[in-house]
């Protein structure tokens, strides 16, 4: 079995029974089940959802994206070994911890395989909720240029790069293009203020203005749970992105839940504590891969300048990264996952065949 076979790069071609197009993002693919299969699984498995709730199979991949491009390695390696299993294992761990501590549920109903979630359809809150505990990355670059107001929050003078902030900052941005909201440009991923949200809560898909403080509470509590757990492993939770949505339970009660993924190296910055105390930043997250790319190519401006997107796309398409780069990224993802879950990560030799067998034999979703 070759290394390339153990990597699940293409995840939108599984023979899962569906009557809708497969939706593929940068990393995950979503298969919406037929109404008949959704009802059957809800009854057979006893999921706490309405009998007619639409369900989906969400399959993660080992693809890696950075700077809005998908990257690949030499020898036909179309992803990072272990990355998908690591991301799902970390998210599963945090979602379980959130539930144990009484925070909120997630959209995940079942985990048939390390690469697979069965989820219920949620009404997404149209906000990328960013929490920051340190000033670094894009926030530091803007601060260094003189910017002091971030999403309506005024930062003091005299902050240093990578310094811990006096409090956890929530710096939300739009998820998708939202229209007709005063003061909010009609483009994806633009920064917004709490006032923007509270004045236009329905436009962001909140059911009620009363849910805004609930969302903020879940943000801060979720961040705190992960931060405390990582601190015990001498890892620092620097910043992260949360996403939320609404679902109904079997009794028809609507509830605000965590969705997408949480606390992973794809959605967060995680620094090594021992190295930080020695004055070094060692990233246990995708930020390390971004830095590898910036150092690998002679003209890093292509990766940073949005006006050079065609050149950037060509760079990703035409350059197979050295295997040692892909292996270093694999070591980062698998390493932090094993720290978080406290055991070895199960890595499949042929994940696609395993997924098909489980969904066929245990869930009757393969014709």
269 inside domain: no
Q: How far apart are CA 281 and CA 340, in angstroms?
A: 19
111 inside domain: yes
91 inside domain: yes
188 inside domain: no
Q: How far apart are CA 245 and CA 256, in angstroms?
A: 6
Q: Which residue has the tokens 């030499």?
A: 74
101 inside domain: yes
Which residues touch 306 (CB under 8 Å, ≥6 apart)?
none
Length of the chain as a residue count: 367
pLDDT over 90, % of the chain? 94
CATH number, position 5: 3.30.200.20
251 backbone dihedrals φ, ψ, rounded to 5°: -80, -5
pTM to 2 decimals?
0.95
Q: Which residues pair with 153 in a beta bridge?
A: 150
| Residue 19 lies in domain | 1-122+288-367
Could you give the C-alpha distances from 179 to 129, 186, 188, 208, in angstroms and in order? Answer: 19, 6, 10, 19
Rounded mean pLDDT of the chain? 95
Q: Which residue has the tokens 């293409």?
A: 10
279 inside domain: no
Domain count, the chain: 1
If pLDDT is split at 50, 70 and 90, which confidence band does 367 have? confident
pLDDT at 5 over 90: no
333 inside domain: yes
Mean pLDDT of 80-94: 97
Mean pLDDT of 134-147: 94
259 inside domain: no
If pLDDT is split at 50, 70 and 90, which confidence band does 60 have? very high
């Amino acid at each position: 079995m070759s290394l390339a076979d153990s990597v699940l790069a293409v995840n939108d071609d599984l023979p899962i029974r569906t009557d809708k197009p497969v939706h593929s993002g940068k990393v995950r693919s979503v298969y919406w089940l037929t109404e008949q299969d959704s009802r059957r699984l809800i009854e057979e498995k006893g999921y706490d959802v309405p009998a007619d709730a639409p369900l989906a199979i969400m399959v993660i991949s080992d693809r890696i994206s950075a700077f809005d491009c998908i990257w690949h390695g030499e020898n036909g390696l179309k992803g990072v070994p272990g990355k998908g299993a690591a991301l799902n294992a970390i998210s599963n761990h945090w979602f379980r911890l959130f539930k144990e501590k009484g925070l909120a549920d997630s959209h995940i109903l079942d985990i048939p395989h390390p690469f697979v979630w069965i989820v219920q359809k949620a009404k997404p809150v149209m906000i990328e909720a960013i929490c920051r505990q340190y000033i670094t990355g894009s926030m530091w670059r803007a601060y260094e240029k003189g910017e002091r107001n971030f999403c309506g929050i005024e930062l003091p003078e005299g902050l240093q790069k990578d310094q811990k902030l006096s409090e956890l900052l929530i710096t939300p941005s739009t998820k998708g293009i939202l229209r007709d909201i005063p003061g909010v440009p009609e483009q994806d991923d633009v920064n917004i203020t709490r006032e923007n949200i509270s004045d236009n809560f329905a436009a962001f898909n909140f059911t009620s203005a009363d849910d805004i403080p609930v969302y903020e509470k879940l943000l801060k509590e979720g961040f705190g749970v992960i931060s405390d757990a990582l601190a015990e492993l001498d890892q620092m939770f620097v910043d992260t992105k949360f996403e939320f949505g609404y679902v109904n339970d079997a009794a028809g009660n609507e509830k605000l839940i965590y969705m997408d993924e949480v606390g992973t190296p794809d959605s967060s910055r995680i620094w090594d504590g021992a190295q930080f105390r020695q004055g070094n930043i060692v990233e246990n997250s995708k930020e390390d891969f971004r830095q590898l790319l910036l150092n690998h190519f002679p003209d890093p401006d292509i990766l940073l300048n949005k006006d050079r997107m065609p050149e950037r796309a060509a760079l990703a398409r035409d350059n197979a990264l050295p295997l040692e780069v892909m292996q270093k990224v694999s070591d980062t993802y698998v390493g932090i996952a094993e720290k978080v879950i406290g055991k070895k990560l199960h890595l499949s030799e042929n994940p696609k065949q395993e997924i098909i067998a489980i969904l066929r034999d245990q869930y009757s979703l393969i014709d």
